[in-house]
Structure 1
Amino acid sequence: MNKLLLAALLTGALASSAYAADYTIMAPASPGGGWDQTARTMQDALQTEGISGNVQVTNVPGAGGTIGLAQFANQFNGNPDALIVGGYVMVGAVLTNQSPVSLADVTPIARLTGESDVIVVPANSELRTVADMVAMLKADPGSVSWAGGSAGGVDHIAAGLIAKAVGVDPTMINYIAYSGGGEALAAVLGGQVTVGISGAGEFAAQIEAGDLRALAVTGDEPVGDIPTLKASGVDVVVENWRMVAAAPGITAEQKAAINADIEKMVQSDTWTTALATKGWVNTYLAGDAFDAQLAKDIESTSAILKDIGLVQ
């Protein structure tokens, strides 16, 4: 091979590796849940597509993501290689936990995915329909124990809205918060709770295997043969969404580079295939449009949490 051509190729390879960021993505929850799955799906897509040479995922669970959020904001200030996943759950947790650190203390990059919640019961449960669950809830709100994600998150909000929609005081619901989807799943499978409520993808394998029975999904559209709450007679529509943010204190140029990498990721075959497999909807939104939508979501979530008694 011509020496000049070889030198050019080597220079190009070195330049490519020099400009490929080595990201660390924090999932502020235990392994197995939606944020962990999102972070690891990002890891796979970024590496498989050659967008990043090396991506590491760390888990910092607790308090609806606010423990991880605080650690991320404090430890990674100005670091353009650090990312954190979050979403609707974190918005609610910041409010309910009165967290001193909020999404205003990081650099939002993009909304990535949307997902309906699904309400499930163990396969041997006497509850076979949403109507059965509603009857039990009306008879004794505390007798229906709900296993879901962190307090104030989308799962908790959905449970509260369901109670309110059927005429039950939402402050009376028996909601048991878990820091990750894996823990909530174990509680449902072990018969420790009446129902489970979490992202449809987190329970999908157990529903398919017949270990869990799905009663309804909380979104606008059915998921497979699982009906919506509205179709089951409960006028509630709630959908989760997940996002990625960067560290505070980065430059405009660094933010633009991260945005470019995330845009490549969401347009890649690896990402698209993963979304289809997991039942996630592509709700990609970035830039000023995402900033504006995030502000609206924070305002509306605050109103909902006050309405169901979780925030004063």
Structure 2
Amino acid sequence: MKRNNFLRTLFTAAVMFSSAAYAQVSVMLPANPGGGWDGTGRQAFSAMNKAGIYTGPVNFTNKGGAGGTIGLAEFQNSQTGKANALAVFGAITVGAITLNKSPIDLNKFKPVARLTAEYLVIAVRPDAPYENLGDFVKALKENPGGTPVGGGSAGGVDHIALALLAQAGNVPVKDLNYIPQAGGADTVTGIVNGTLKAGISGISEFQQFAKSNRVKILGITSAQRMEGLEVPTFKEVGFDVEIANWRGILGAPEMPEENYKLWVDRFTQLNNSAEWKQVMQTQGWDQFFLAGAEFGDFIKSESERINTILKDAGLAQ
């Protein structure tokens, strides 16, 4: 009898573990299909499946708008306490929460993992009168209003990177003439036709145009030079700026601790897998991994830094 009870208990525990391990996962992608957040979420779970880390069902929900705050607010309201509810988000969301006066509180979410990063570059016309990034910052300082710079949405990571460069070059951030563009192609068009003196965006937006000599890249916001790209970092030129358009995974507020630890472990395994490294290479993403509490500390420090910049730029109170 005792043996039967023991076996029954063991079987029940195994079923419960199996159910927890392979119950359907709900993943909020707070952007429209086809973008960076959409790709990050779908590619991560595809690689996780191929690596045998998690092979259960996944339900993706796309809900774009307002820098990810619309989808993330819905996720916060509907998924609190859920054991297998995750959301993709990134650097853009941090500023968007402030600019959109969103009720989202990132401290309530479970910081699972920071996965990828794309560094930003400044590009100009090949015949622009700037030999290097220092020349451009000098022109920006002499006439910030007459030096329009295009990039992503106001308060987004492109805008913030330009503001950090301005601060490093003693240019008043509030005097910058930053013009948001609908996309990278529009920024390139503005650079080429002269309506923009420069553009700032992720390296993937400009690299192909630099290769065809339509634009010239002056600098990149990474800590070290990127392999295969003969472009100096902002720091090399004397401007202490390092920033990336990073993307990561959040767990639902009040997610049970055992599930939270399980997802941190799964994404740690994913980061070390050959399948994910292949995805990174194919997509042109940089590894930018942090997990658990360390990722939580990063989110807090990044929120403070970005919100300070937004206030300096006059975009936030």
Give yes or no for TM over 0.5.
Answer: yes
In 2, the alpha carbon distance for the partners of 1:190 and 1:127 equals 19
Structure 1 unaligned runs (5+)? 1-11
Shift of 1:308: 3.9
Q: CA RMSD in A?
A: 3.1
In 1, the alpha carbon distance for the partners of 2:83 and 2:124 equals 43
2:301 counterpart of 1:296: yes
2:167 counterpart of 1:164: yes
2:183 counterpart of 1:184: yes
Q: Which shifted more, 186-195 or 240-249?
A: 186-195
Partner of 1:142, secondary structure, is coil
Change (3 A) 1:190 1:27: farther
Larger Rg over CA atoms: 2
Mapping of 1:1-312 within 5 angstroms? Answer: 19-31=21-33, 33-50=35-52, 51-55=54-58, 57-121=60-124, 129-177=132-180, 183-191=182-190, 193-223=196-226, 224-312=229-317
In 2, the alpha carbon distance for the partners of 1:298 and 1:54 equals 33
Partner of 2:222, secondary structure, is coil
In 1, the alpha carbon distance for the partners of 2:51 and 2:249 equals 18
Q: Which amino acid aligns with 2:149?
A: W
Percent pairwise identity = 39
Q: How many residue pairs get matched?
A: 295
Q: Is the 8 A contact 1:184 1:196 kept in 2?
A: no
In 2, the alpha carbon distance for the partners of 1:85 and 1:272 equals 19
Shift of 1:94: 1.8
Partner of 1:143, secondary structure, is coil
Q: Is the 8 A contact 1:121 1:188 kept in 2?
A: no
Partner of 2:116, secondary structure, is strand
Partner of 1:197, secondary structure, is strand
Q: Is the 8 A contact 2:84 2:259 kept in 1?
A: no
Alignment partner, residue 10 of structure 2? none
Shift of 1:125: 6.0
Q: Is the 8 A contact 2:174 2:312 kept in 1?
A: no
Partner of 2:302, secondary structure, is helix
Q: Which amino acid aligns with 1:44?
A: S
Q: Deviations over 1:166-206 (max 9, x none)?
A: 3322112222345xxxx421212332644332222444444
With the length of structure 2 as denominator, give the TM-score of the two structures.
0.78
In 2, the alpha carbon distance for the partners of 1:294 and 1:27 equals 19
Shift of 1:48: 2.6
Shift of 1:265: 1.5
Change (3 A) 1:146 1:39: farther
Change (3 A) 1:136 1:292: closer
